[in-house]
Structure 1
Amino acid sequence: MSNFWSFIDKDGKTWPDMPPTPNSVQQKRREEFIRRSTARQMCIKEASARRRALAAQKRDVAKQLLIGKTQNRDAIKVLARMDREICAFPPQAMKRETVRRVHRTQEFKEKKKQRRDEYDAHVNRLLAYCYSQKLEKYWQRLECLILVLGEFELLLGHLVTFKLLQLCSSDSISTEIQHFRRG
């Protein structure tokens, strides 16, 4: 094909080339994916080889200990090493990657939204109850909030306590109290 071909958009704009096809984009990404995958496999194989070497070393030390060629003190140093400590990837990196992947799932996003909606519903119910009480003074309203909050505190945690106390200190509560005094 000639280099003189161009892509003409429906608006009449011309582009020097066609937009990349999905296949070409996948081919470009494929090379990077294969490179990362082989690097991961190499790390896993190296860790596996180190575990095999440690297991063989432990077996040799155990044989020498039974024969009597090795002292207990020397054998303990080798036998105490744990093959579980040999990792292909740092545990924190694996944990971080797992959390990142879980947070990207649709199920996690839905559960997070559901928890947030449930939390908001509890806060709204609590505030509705407090506002429905005809209290004389600001401190009585604060006591009401604290008493009702005691029931919900285990369910909602300390965050609700903080937010409600912030709300009690706002001007909206004082205007509500003045409204109740007039009514």
Structure 2
Amino acid sequence: MVLGSRREGLLATAVISLCLFGQMNAPVAHGVDPELALNGTYAAVSIGEWAKTNEVYIDQRTVRSTWTIVSSCSDPGTCFGHVHSDHGWSAEITLQSNMWSVRREIPDWMPCPGGGAYPGRQLFRFTPAGPAGRRVVGSPVLSGEDVTAGPAGACGVGQPLVIRMPFRLEKVG
């Protein structure tokens, strides 16, 4: 009797092991939500009346543009693509940690009083947002910030000039 239950126990252990081993090596299907990728035409607005530098509000002009975005996602947390703005620039777009980002360089962004100018590094960071401001995958409205920074030491000033503005992106086509 003891021998019989021992065999049954070994058999059960072998079956469980085979099932677990088989599951561990089976391919896992990762469904990527098609609404996660951004594709189409978007109205982009950097809201200048709420711009800040050194946490102090400074009035800047509001910048409106139209972006054409093409992107695809390899998994639910990683997407890559390209943005083309009607202002004449193009840049890569990426999604990491639920935040989209677009980085580009603006030539001659920071003019110096004595002549010459320095480039600015612009970063747009945004995420899909619902009516309550919470992240909603697939929302046609995305919100975040537009941050542009000049290099430290530019124009003889030690600290870099950094301007932050609220940013909104809305799908229009």
Shared topology, TM-score over 0.5? no
Q: TM-score, normalised by structure 2?
A: 0.22
Q: TM-score, normalised by structure 1?
A: 0.21
Larger relative strand fraction: 2
RCO comparison, higher one (Cα < 8 Å, 6+): 2
Q: Which has the larger radius of gyration?
A: 1
